[in-house]
Structure 1
Amino acid sequence: MEFLKKTARRRSLLSNIAYYALNLGMVAVLFWMSQEIHYPLAAIVLVLLSKWRTLSVRPKFWLTNIQGSLVDVVVGLGVVALMYAPQATLVLRIALAVFYAIWLVAIKPLSKRWQMTLQAGLAVFIGTAALFAVSHEWPAAVVVLCALVIGYGTARHFLSTFREEQITVLSLAWGLVFAEIGWLAHYWTFGYALLGVNALQLPQVTIIFTLLSFVAERIYTSWHKHKTIVIAEVAGPAVLASALILTILLFFNSVTL
């Protein structure tokens, strides 16, 4: 019996080592590709292939697994898009590689409610930042569809922690909110230089998406906890988010991506 326990522990250790090695190796390859291969298709394929376990089940479970993996896919493709963005610098690519490594080995495996909420928030931020950093010449329909997928996937990821019965309807509704804002942002995109570096700009709409998602999370959490929306719990976040959004829309629209 003791021998079996030791064998199981050894296999678990080897499995963990392999998991970390494969993920960190993939990040290293993605970084190398962004430096040496100036066409992102190979990097996109690599990220998608790394999700092979999503389809390693019976076909009837594929849709469920794909929906459950959307946040991870959004982050992965977002990192690739930012690495290959025209304004990407070596420092930015290194920072993105480090972030993606941390995401894969430390953040992605987490499963508590607040941790999955954090995962969804990061996906909103990275996904929308990447989308509006590279989609200037894309057809509006493609941008709208991508925004819808980001909104749907992140909402579903968050709602899954509550075992929400109407998860598909609510996720789709939030996806439509993202799609509508994404359509507007496609024609009216502004960005703000980070750390004083003009090449490193954060899309204005990413801030808006993140703030709206934060308020929506507070509203839903309050409703789920009390079966009603407690104004005292949501007023602060709502007022703060509204003030910030109005401020950037009215006074900080001078820089265009």
Structure 2
Amino acid sequence: MKKKISLGILLLVVISFISIELFQSYSNKTSPEVVADLEGTIYFTERVNGVLTLFKSDATLQNKTLVYSHKGKGNTGFGDYNDNIIDFNYDKTSQTVYFIAMQDGSWSLFSLHESENTPTLLQKEVMETKTEYLKNEHENQTATSKKGTLYLLSEGNEKIIKKFHGLYDEKFTGYRPTGFSPDGKHLVYHSMEHATPLGTILKGMVAETVGTTYIMNLSTMKSAEFVNAYNIQWVVD
């Protein structure tokens, strides 16, 4: 019996390895120069030790800095903590970020000015706030995903911009658009990085996050790794 279990585990490992190898063999190599000339500042949430935390960075991915962590402050009222920041929005005019996090058992709205270190509680019992995350529509362009393949619809013409090769699963494989850059010249998208659902599932058993976020130059169709973020707001002057 133990021998059969060991063989089963070995088979799963082999399948996982084949999954990512197959995927990578069909994927384009990344081109770091894609991010070199990007302008503006991106605000995003990223998991740190399991907690969604707010960061900002130059769009070129330089000077990444922590904006705010709610770690240890999200008392649910049931003897545990939920320290995630579940929604946010940076207001350029007031130089203030607004976000929602847990406060004494209630999802609450906070504000934090750039000059401050401690947020101000504005309102309790709030589940969402105004957001300006990247969107899949920009002027006459729309990005979509069909069976894991990325499509770009522009001026009535639809074309494939990133073909998925593998066993498609809505949850575990394929590419998904995150949204366009403010000028519409780049598309941010997420890849599950595996050709089969099993490969993704096995990776998820040992990793905090699965997949990689990329940004594509829509003129050259070249891509580079971007921030592995859950929500992204891109602010330009």
Same fold flag (TM > 0.5): no
Q: Which has the higher contact order (CA 8 A, sep 6+)?
A: 2
Greater strand proportion? 2
TM-score, scaled relative to structure 1: 0.23
TM-score, scaled relative to structure 2: 0.24
